[in-house]
Amino acid sequence: MNVAVIGTGSMGRGIAHVSALGGHSVVVRDIEQELVDQGLEQIETNLEGGVEREKISTAEKEDALDRITGTTSLEEAVEDADLVIEAVPEQLELKKELFEDVDELAPDDAVVATNTSSLSVTEIASTLEDSSRCLGLHFFNPAHIMPLVEIVVAEQTSDETKSFADEYVESIEKTPITVQDFPGFASSRLGAMFSLEAIRMAQEGVASIEDIDETMRLGYNLPMGPIELVDHTGVDVNLEVMEYLREELGERFKPPQLLKRKYRAGKLGKKTGEGFYVWEDGEIVGVSGEE
């Protein structure tokens, strides 16, 4: 199938990677050539990592790379698409505008999916003339490694669209769970609650951020603590999600001041080298603000 991935940030590049490995032809689109190139380079590096870890062969890596092209033209990206997956920033208006353009430029029967972490898929879908072909495909970060995809069924999603999504998720060897379109789905709602409370606890001085994370790793057997997870997924992305959940579900999702402070300082986590922790080459090397 032809897959168009819109946005080559943290998520788009992983979605393109797994789609190409799944045998699909992939076009990635971003707004500037430099961003497209960065995305393609990172996909190559990640595929190379897969070869080094003996997850894939060199031939599989090369075949996958041959199946991916990049462009800044939305038209070029979607004109032959069977499936369009949107992975642009978590802003409702931006996604709705993009869907309007996709509606004009993509084939009428293409399935159009959003990778939103929390926004209303039903509202995004409503911008399409035929919104029955829309649903959420919620990947997890890093998308080329994490095995889960939440299939988010909007109010308008048809059974045919849902079956198409099931087949696609199977083709890329991920595990699907099906969730109805309620704010934060199953994952972001629970995940945000963990991270919110952990940051509030750090703010109140209950324990250090390292000890709070260690508690959840060792006491609850999580692979990563809830504050480290915020750095990993992006302070900005988490703040946007929490603000949306607060609006939709109430004050229990109010973002803590400490998170806002990190955001205002441009300390967005792993991607900027500093958030709650200090990062080097994708690893934690210290705690932000400590010598």
Ligand X SMILES: NC(=O)c1ccc[n+]([C@@H]2O[C@H](COP(=O)([O-])OP(=O)(O)OC[C@H]3O[C@@H](n4cnc5c(N)ncnc54)[C@H](O)[C@@H]3O)[C@@H](O)[C@H]2O)c1
Q: Which residues bind ligand X (CB under 6 A)?
A: 6-12, 29-31, 35, 87-90, 98, 115-117, 139-141, 233-234, 237
Closer by beta carbon to ligand X, 51 or else 224: 224
CB of 261 to ligand X, least distance (A): 20
1 annotated ligand binder: no
95 annotated ligand binder: yes
Closer by beta carbon to ligand X, 37 or else 173: 37
CB of 87 to ligand X, least distance (A): 4
Closer by beta carbon to ligand X, 196 or else 204: 196
Contact 118, 132 (CB under 8 A): no
271 annotated ligand binder: yes
CB of 16 to ligand X, least distance (A): 11
| HEC secondary structure over the chain | CEEEEECCCHHHHHHHHHHHHCCCEEEEECCCHHHHHHHHHHHHHHHHHHHHCCCCCHHHHHHHHHCEEEECCHHHHHCCCCEEEECCCCCHHHHHHHHHHHHHHCCCCCEEEECCCCCCHHHHHCCCCCHHHEEEEEECCCCCCCCEEEEEECCCCCHHHHHHHHHHHHHCCCEEEEEECCCCCCHHHHHHHHHHHHHHHHHHCCCCHHHHHHHHHHHCCCCCCHHHHHHHHCHHHHHHHHHHHHHHHCHHHCCCHHHHHHHHCCCCEHHHCECCEEEECCEEEEECCCC
114 annotated ligand binder: no
CB of 201 to ligand X, least distance (A): 22
141 annotated ligand binder: yes
70 annotated ligand binder: no
Closer by beta carbon to ligand X, 63 or else 182: 182
Three-state DSSP class for 223? coil
225 annotated ligand binder: no
Measured distance CA(137)–CA(14) in Å, rounded: 13
Closer by beta carbon to ligand X, 266 or else 289: 266
CB of 243 to ligand X, least distance (A): 12
CB of 206 to ligand X, least distance (A): 26
Considering only CA atoms, give the Rg of the chain: 19
12 annotated ligand binder: yes
Closer by beta carbon to ligand X, 6 or else 152: 6
Q: Can you say which residues are annotated as belonging to the binding site? A: 7-12, 30, 90, 95, 117, 141, 271
Q: Can you say which residues are annotated as belonging to the binding site for NAD(+)? A: 7-12, 30, 90, 95, 117, 141, 271
